[in-house]
Amino acid sequence: MQPNTLLDALLDEAGMSHAGLAAHVNQAGRARGLALRYEHTAVARWLRGQRPRGQVPDLICEVLGARLGRPVALDDIGLGVPGNGTAPPHGTPLSGFVERATALWRSDEQQRPHLRGVAAVTGTPAVMPVWEWENPPEDADVSRDGHTRVSASDIETLRAARAHYELMYRRTGGIATRARIVGFLNAETAPLLRGAYGDALGRRLHRAAGGLVAVAGICAYDSDELGLAQRYFHQALRLAKASGDRGLGAYVIALLVNQALFMGEYRQAVAFAEAALRAARQRVTPALAADLYAMQAKAYAHLGDGPEALRCVHRAEWEAERIRPGHEPDETGYVQPGLVNVQVAEALLRLGDLPGARENAVAAVRTPAHDRGRVHRLAILSQIQLSQGEPDGAARTAAEMAERARGMESQRLRGRLREVRERLVASGSGDAEEAAERIEAALRVPV
């Protein structure tokens, strides 16, 4: 089940409590000859994604419409299509999507309990947003009439905000950044998407908003909110489609590929990367292509397909040589020198090629990177050193990693630190104990 953020938003707008909605639904039911006995717990279940039975969805529309003084349809309360896990036959209409997206941002900012810890979807619901992005129909006209007149300067503000929050994420982690970027989405981005703009300006607006929403998804992922992160990534993909920028869509799919790898969905990771490379074609820049092929290599390595993994390694390395600084979009700035090396090192380590993995990991560590990226690179090098029987060297590498990680509020990095600490303790090295203590100290920083 997925949380019903639209119903939650309308409840808030109507100023109605869970118990109040239940009581009014019971009363409206009696007028139709129904003996209903709903309580606030039932409303909480509806908000978590359970679909009410029988005439109850219509009764909810009736109650909320009377309170708000306007007609309320089933689509408005998130109950227009039964939860069968399929998308509408002609894709997601843009106007309805905007309302659903902004309702999610609002619920996230208010930390609604039904949104906390929501699970990531798998199977068809996970694949459908990628399929919709890749296939027709396209949005013929994204113009909209609203109260707020959108200007080119508004779009530049969104672009600047994306860069600001991405940098904040790299420096402090997703946990600290997430509340700030979600607050910005609600206060600044939502009114613009609901505003007034023509088709050309609207496409630029949706592109800028898509880049910002993608960073919100990254922060949710880094906060260990995998289901919420996935929903943000799906939103960013829909905004990319509306913008007409295939390159942006391919970047968002790269984020989904990374999450699929973390979740162990290796075949899905391969398929998503193929979709991005196939659909975006020339709009996939060398940096993005290098990252997609490197992640495919890791997925194939986990699947035990050595030849395909090595093919993707060679393609990733070839694409990395073609990267031209200053000729990449803002979003692919994360593909810094050394990133492909560390991705390749992970793939080769999985394949058992320790010398090759070591060579790439060392090259990655020797290349300048922001602290977050350096922590990840040092963690991989430490793991390889342990695998090669060098526990003391691994301990020294891990000690540097722990120092770099201090002050970062990131569940992903905390998980990496724990993994390295456990490997060090198991090695029995004399230096490992000191390194493990440093890691323990870094983990004690409140998150």
Q: List the chain pLDDT tens, one digit each, 447 residues.
A: 788 988 998 888 889 999 999 999 999 999 999 899 999 999 999 999 899 988 999 999 999 989 988 888 888 898 886 443 334 434 568 988 999 999 999 999 999 888 878 899 989 999 999 999 999 999 999 999 998 999 999 999 999 999 999 999 998 899 999 999 999 999 999 999 999 999 999 999 999 999 999 999 999 999 999 999 999 999 999 999 999 999 999 999 999 999 999 999 999 999 999 999 999 888 999 999 999 999 999 999 999 999 999 999 999 999 999 999 889 999 999 998 999 999 999 999 999 999 999 999 999 999 998 888 999 999 999 999 999 999 889 989 988 998 888 888 889 988 888 888 888 888 876 677 778 788 877 766 554
Angle at CA of residue 44, ends 42 and 48, nearest 5°: 115
Backbone angles phi, psi at 52, to 5 degrees: -65, 155
Confidence (pLDDT) at 86: 35
Closest CA to 49 of 93, 82, 21, 10: 82
Name the token pair of 78. 């998130």
| Backbone φ and ψ of 301, nearest 5° | -60, -40
- Give the whole-angstrom CA distance, residue 98 versus residue 361: 43
Per-domain boundaries in the chain = 5-84, 86-244, 266-357, 370-447
pLDDT of residue 21: 94
What is the structure's pLDDT at 85? 35
Report the candidate in 46, 94, 84, 87 with the shortest Cα–Cα distance to residue 235: 94
Report the half-sphere exposure of 78 (CA within 13 A, side-chain side). Answer: 25
Of 211, 30, 52, 186, nearest in space to 112 by CA: 186
Task: Please give the pLDDT value at position 114.
Answer: 82
Give me the pLDDT at residue 436, please. Answer: 76
CA distances from 349 to 149, 248, 304, 341 (A): 54, 31, 12, 12
pLDDT value, residue 186? 96
Tokens 């996939």 map to which residue?
A: 284
Confidence at residue 220, expressed as pLDDT on a 0 to 100 scale: 97
pTM of the entire structure? Answer: 0.87
Question: Are 331 and 251 contacting, i.e. CB atoms less than 8 angstroms apart?
Answer: yes
Q: Peptide bond before 136: cis, by omega within 30 degrees of 0?
A: no
Question: What is the per-residue pLDDT for 91?
Answer: 54
What span, in angstroms and rounded, lies between the C-alpha atoms of 438 and 398?
A: 9
Cα dihedral 9, 12, 14, 20, rounded to 10, equals 120
